[in-house]
Amino acid sequence: MSGSLIRPGLRRVEQVMGTAISLDLADDLPPARLHELADDVFGWLREVDARFSTYRSDSEVCRFDRGEVLLSEASAQLRAVLERCADLWGDTDGFFDAYATGQLDPSGYVKGWAAQVASDRLIAAGATNHCLNAGGDVRVRGCSATGRPWRIGVRHPWDAMSTCLVLTGTDLAVATSGVYERGHHVLDPRRGAPATGLRSVTVVGRDLGVADAYATAAVAMGVAGIGWLDGLPDHPHAVITDGGRCLHSTRLPLAD
Amino acid sequence: MRRVLLAITGLAAGTTALVVLKGSPQASQVAQNLPAAPSSSAVPSLSATGSSSAAPTTGAATPRPRATATRAPGSRTSASARPSTARPSSAPRTTTAAPPKSTTRTVTGTVVSNEYGNVQVQIVVSGDRIVRAVALELPQKFVQSERRNEEVEGRYSGTSGQVVQRQSADLDTVSGATATSNSYRQSLQAAIDRAG
C-alpha cells in the first residue's frame, strides 16, 4: 500500500496455478484503471488454471486426458497449447515432453504462455510498462516505475535469498528452470528418471512459454543441454551446473 | 569381360556411396545422448488417444543427436574464480552498517519452516529500493551449501550477503524456479513483494 505513495503504478501478488504471481504495473494511470488492469490479468490466469490444471479432475486438460473430450471438441486454447507442445517436443529433440510423466501435463508451457498472453493484453490495453512474474518466470515490458529498464535477478540455486546474475531490459522474457528443493525434479523423458547435471537453467527470449520450455528441456538434457542451448541463436542463456559452475551466453543482457 | 568389370566397378561405387552416406552422420556423432539442435524433426501428433505410450520415451521415432560438442568455449565468457569470501556460519547478519535515511524502512518476513529448518528474511527499503536484505535465520544445512558455493566460478556469486550488497539493491524482480507457494514464501521475490 505504501508503495503507491512513493511511486506511480500498482503492485499485486496473488496465488494462482499453485504458485505466486507478482504483477508490477508501472504506468502512471488512475488507480481505478490500474486495479481494473490487474483484475483482468488475474482473472485470465485463474481462467487458464481452471482449464489447464492437472490438479483439478474437472479441468479440460484432465477431461481430455481421460478421453472425455475429443480433440475436435476441445477449446481453441487447449488445441493451441497442444499444438505448441508438439512443436516444442520437436524443437527440443523430445526433451520437452508434455507426456513425460505418462499423463498429459502441459504445465511446463502453460504457465509461461499464460503470463505471456497477459503481458500482451496489457500492452494492447495501453499498459506498456509492466513486470509479470509467474512463479519465477518473468515477462517485462518498458521501464519500472523509477523510469529505468527493469532489473531481473536470477535466483542463486543454493540460496533462495540471493541472486547470481542480474539481467536488464525493456522487452524480455526470462524463464528459469531448475532443481532447488529436495523432492522436486525435472524428468528426463528418455530415461524416465530425474535429470542430473544442471542445477538451474535460465533462458531469455521474447516468448515466455517458449523460454520456459527451453529451460526445462535443457535441465532434462543434463550437461548436454549446454551444447544444445548454444545452438539457439535467439535465446541467450545462463547455466549453473550441479558442480556449481556458471556458464552464460556472451549475449546475455547482463546489468552493469 | 567388360560387363563384368562394369558390374564390379558399379558394385564398388555403390558400396562406397552407401558407406559414405551411412558413415557421414556417424562421423559427427560423438556422443549418443547429446540432443540435436532444433530442427524440423518428426513432431508427434498429440491426438485424443494420447497416453503414456504416445510419449517419446523410447526415442524410437526421435532423430539421433548430432551435436558435436557439449560446449563451445569461444562463445562463452569464462571469468576467473572468485576469491573465497564465504561466511563461516549461518549466524544472523546485522543491518547496523546501513546508514539510516529518513525514508528507510525495515520489513521483516515471517519465519517459515521447511525440512531443513527455519528461514526468516529482513529487508531494508530506502524509498522504493531494497538497499539491504539479510537472512535473520537460515537452516544449519546452509553451511554446507555455502561451502559448495565457493566452488562457483565467474559471475556466480557466493554467499547471500555478498550478492545482496552488490546486486540486489537494484532488483525489481527475481527469476527462479519457484515451483510451489511454499518456495515462494521463502524467496527474495516474496521479500520484494512485501516491500510493496
Selected residue with higher pLDDT from A120 and B188: A120
Q: CB of A16 within 8 A of CB of A49?
A: yes
- ipTM for the predicted complex comes to 0.90
Overall average pLDDT of the A51-64 stretch: 94
Of B67, B145, B187, the CB nearest to A228: B67
Whole-angstrom distance, CA of residue B35 vs CA of residue B57: 14
Whether the predicted pLDDT of A185 surpasses 50: yes
Q: Is the pLDDT of residue A193 over 90?
A: no
pLDDT of A6 above 90? no
Displacement of CA B146 from its chain's centroid (Å): 18
* Chain B nearest CA to A31, separation (Å): 15
Give yes or no for a contact between A100 and A177, defined as CB atoms under 8 angstroms apart: no
Chain B from 57 to 116: CB within 8 A of any A CB? 57, 59, 62-63, 65, 67-72, 75-78, 103, 105, 115
A249 touching B (Cβ < 8 Å): yes
CA-based nearest residue in chain A for residue B77: A250
Q: Of B57, B70, B176, which is closest to A223 when you measure between CB atoms?
A: B70
Read off the C-alpha cell for B179: 515451483
**C-alpha angle B86/B87/B90, rounded to 5°?**
125
**Under a CB-based contact definition with an 8 Å cutoff, are residues A21 and A117 in contact?**
no
Nearest to A162 by CA among B193, B161, B110: B161
Residue type, A60: E
B156: closest CA of chain A, how far (Å): 5
pLDDT for the residue B83: 39
Say what the pLDDT of residue B186 is. 75
Is residue B27 scored above 70 in pLDDT?
no
pLDDT per position as a tens digit, B30-67: 444 445 444 443 434 333 333 333 333 333 443 444 43
Query: Which residues in chain B are closer than 8 Å to A166, comparing Cβ atoms?
Result: 167, 170-171
- Given this model, what pLDDT does residue B132 score? 72
Contact B71 A100 (CB under 8 A): no
Residue B162 has pLDDT above 60, yes or no: no
Q: Does A223 reach chain B within 8 Å, measured CB to CB?
A: yes
